[in-house]
Amino acid sequence: MKVFRDMKKSADCLIIGAGLIGMLTARELARAGLRVLLLDRGRAGGESSWAGGGILSPLYPWRCHAPVTELVRWSQRRYPALADALFSATGVDPQWTASGLLILEQGEADEALAWARLHDVEMEKVDAAACLRLEPALGSAPEGGLWLPGVAQIRNPRLIAALKDDLGRLGVLLHEHEEVRELHRENGRVVGARTRGGMVIEVPRIVIAGGAWSSALLQHLGIDLRVFPVRGQMLLFRGVPGMLRRIVLAHGHYAIPRRDGHILVGSSVEEAGFDKAVTADVRDELLAAARALVPALADCPLVRHWAGLRPGSRSGLPVIGPVPGIEGLYLNTGHFRNGVVLGPASARLLADLILARTPVVEPAPFAVAHQAEFAADFL
């Protein structure tokens, strides 16, 4: 705690939320020379960042808003180098793996292929026999499918561990289980924050990257952010290496093979508030989907069933940028199911805005003013 007291007086930026978005933002700012203090109400990366599957693509990428596609493509191009750099610096391998994505549906094939041509994404329409050649573990592929060989995955718990070690190497001060309860402003600018334990932090810049919990911090300032929790439940099976080679997706359910043979199956989309409880009906739904996708999973032990809370937004776009009317306050949240793939680009974009650099993508679609409501007396 003594170190925390000393550091709070000299930090250039406080980041609230140590999920992947907050950690990647801290890394960008620290690499640019800022002294960063990173706080989380729980364990670093312990919420939706840990709970997700780590697919480095939206499930149906052609359905995304065009600005989201720009962020996705920027991140995808840089993830291999990021994973290598983290492995080299920390010895923790995030296991970036180019598994490819096989979508066992063709109902939107024309739209999908047109999107792929527009964005120079490798995509192929394949028949049922080709699906089974690509992934022999499938039960069947009656409709044929769409094959995206360039889609990769990352093992997000290992990515979290590598980032945590790297942030320490870069001098970022991370405090877990330190909940920020209140933001302080004076004369139209942010001046600090207060934690649940009564610690007052004086700092000229604050980034809220609290995922589904981000909105609560803004309510007392008269800002309705409209970011809300969306529960997603997942299953983990113990298979053997090579049993499943591709990420496979059908009708909203997917199976992801890890290098050590474990296979993740997900996921549900439920508006259940902040309730992270798992349910028997969703477990049964996911079990049925798992066995339909990969029949051999019927003979594999079910290791774990868990739930996470994704930060949804009403617009379908993440919220990235400065809060109008409060100088020094920034947001990086609302990434819904795509936080892992959007993380590097979102962090870079916000760092560009904070540091007055040329942004890597056009920031206007993600502006706070487009996605929040402000009380009449806000200004």
- The phi-psi region of residue 151 (left if phi > 0; otherwise alpha if psi is between -120 and 50; otherwise beta) is beta
What CA–CA distance (Å, rounded) separates 63 from 61?
5
For 233, the 3-state DSSP assignment is strand
- The phi-psi region of residue 49 (left if phi > 0; otherwise alpha if psi is between -120 and 50; otherwise beta) is alpha
Instruction: Please give the distance of CA 132 from its chain centroid, rounded to a whole number.
Output: 31
- Please confirm whether the linkage preceding 267 is cis (ω < 30° from 0): yes
DSSP 112-170: HHHHHHHHT---EEE-HHHHHHH-TT-S--TT-EEEETT--B--HHHHHHHHHHHHHHT
Output the CA torsion 99→254→270→299 (10° steps).
-120
Q: HSE of 211 in the Cβ direction (CA atoms, 13 Å)?
A: 31
Q: What is the pLDDT of residue 156?
A: 96
The one-character DSSP state at 357 is: P
What CA–CA distance (Å, rounded) separates 1 from 198?
13
Mean pLDDT of residues grouped by 10 in the chain (379 residues)?
45 97 98 98 95 96 96 98 98 98 95 97 96 92 90 98 98 96 93 92 97 92 92 97 97 97 96 96 97 96 97 94 96 96 98 97 95 74
Q: What is the pLDDT of residue 140?
A: 76
Q: For 2-50+158-226+315-374, which CATH class?
A: alpha beta
The full length of the chain comes to 379
- 182: nearest Cα among 167, 166, 162, 201: 201
Q: What is the pLDDT of residue 338?
A: 96
Q: What is the pLDDT of residue 8?
A: 45
For 240, the 3-state DSSP assignment is coil
For the chain, the structural domain boundaries read: 2-50+158-226+315-374, 98-152+228-313
Pick the CATH number of 98-152+228-313 from 3.40.50.2300, 3.40.47.10, 3.30.9.10, 3.40.50.1100: 3.30.9.10
